[in-house]
Amino acid sequence: MNGLAYKNIIFDLGNVVVKLNSDGCMEAFAELGLAPYLDPKQHSEGFELMRKLGLGLISTEDFCNGVRNLSGLSITDKQIIDAANVMLAGIPHNKLDVLLSLRSQGKRVFLLSNTIDIHWDYCVENLFPYNGHTVDDYFEKVFLSQRMHLDKPDHRIFEEVVRQTGIAPNDTLFIDDLEANCNAAKEAVGWNVFQNTNFNDWPELFNH
């Protein structure tokens, strides 16, 4: 597949642009004593808090209060947020270079992610700044589940992206690490898709 054949390229965030460290994140929560409360097998209430946060049905403050109430632990918002952000292991500079190159070639580049503000704010402040560039230099527009009150693979989230951007399916490539999201994008709006099975796969699409 030649990624440069497309006018519009839509990227997922986690394990596509940003390397994720799920094990490290759970270890950080365990150190706070929170791991059992965020395990859906042990506490459905904790899992429900995370689901509501991901869809923007509750605020970050509400989430932190809920975690404290559920666990009974005396921990601060900052401790919870810092533990959550251990999930974000970094963005390789070569990926940022590709994103900048695509935009310089006139491509319309977007981000579509099931992402909470806790993670997005960390990425904006700590991971995207590079050689004087900020997040606005990489993406024309970002679409985040917490702000849209929708998440992948719900067909409506893909339809909303099309509604807001006016992009044509045959001119669009969607890159995501999950097969379910790729299939949903094809079914919902007819996008061309690439499943990023290994973290460093997708830059090769643009080396033509």
Reported as a single tens digit per residue, the pLDDT across 105-150 is 999 999 999 999 999 999 999 999 999 999 999 999 999 999 999 9
Q: Could you tell me the fold of the domain covering 3-18+91-206?
A: Rossmann fold (3.40.50)
Distance (Å, rounded) from C-alpha 151 to C-alpha 143?
10
What CATH homologous superfamily does 22-87 map to?
Putative phosphatase; domain 2 (1.10.150.240)
Q: Give yes or no for residue 95 having a pLDDT over 90.
A: yes
pLDDT confidence tier of residue 101, bands split at 50, 70 and 90: very high
C-beta of residue 93 within 8 angstroms of C-beta of residue 129: no
Mean pLDDT of 22-29: 93
Reported as type and span, the H/E element at residue 157 is helix 155-165
Give how far the C-alpha of residue 162 lies from the chain's centroid of Cα atoms, to the nearest Å: 18
Domain boundaries, the chain: 3-18+91-206, 22-87
| Confidence band for 74, pLDDT divided at 50, 70 and 90 | very high
φ and ψ at 18, to 5 degrees?
Answer: -100, 130
Task: Kindly report whether the global pTM for this prediction surpasses the value 0.75.
Answer: yes
- Token pair listed for 204: 């090769």
